Structure 1
């Protein structure tokens, strides 16, 4: 399903499936949707399903990846990065993502996305509550800046009740 979605995005945003641009489009969408899928799988029935809609307004999905089922006002953004070491990776968040979401989950894939590869090791690195992010502009984070992923359920329950 993720791969089909990525090919649809290539068809939408590139004139040719066999150029460097289409590989970049595929890799970026695959990385993002794979991260969303893993978060949805781990959180189970407390969040909505992964959105595979093909938006007409460019590559923008509205800035929210998942929402809580019991309180759809609680937006969750999933940021997925690839690399050799999760300790060296920077995850970037922009102003819109901070404003539209209550929680941001950070994922790491230990190798670059390759259209020929079907298996990846994905790590849920941590999360942040957007209300605790001091900057309201674009900002980057490293693994050491994140909250322990094991606390995510309690935080989501708290946010669900508070908002």
Structure 2
């Protein structure tokens, strides 16, 4: 990734694209106060620098049959490089894991898991415990999503 310094216009571009990545360049340029060509060049620069890492469609998981979200807390059985390497190898085998965070504190890892139902989660849980030795695994079931955003809080007013 580049050490690109973001100015106010770059931040506005990012803010707008995080809200709606389907904006046509003409609308994006108008919203950030540029003409189309300089705006597009800035978007390309942000992509080349690795600041914009992709553009995706956001999908309602419940509408595609993934109605149960579970946060799984993992305490590693040990903290060796070998265990961490094995953990990193195991995770891609489970498409239901949509986020993985390594934490400081009592819990070593937090997984966000999206599955259709409790039966599917139980199968996932059993497979995970067979694939990865852990000291403890705790599951917390989401009852309701109050807020879910992919837009990072970016300051568009200052440089």
TM over 0.5: no
Name the TM-score, length of structure 2 as normaliser: 0.23
Higher relative contact order (CA 8 A, sep 6+): 2
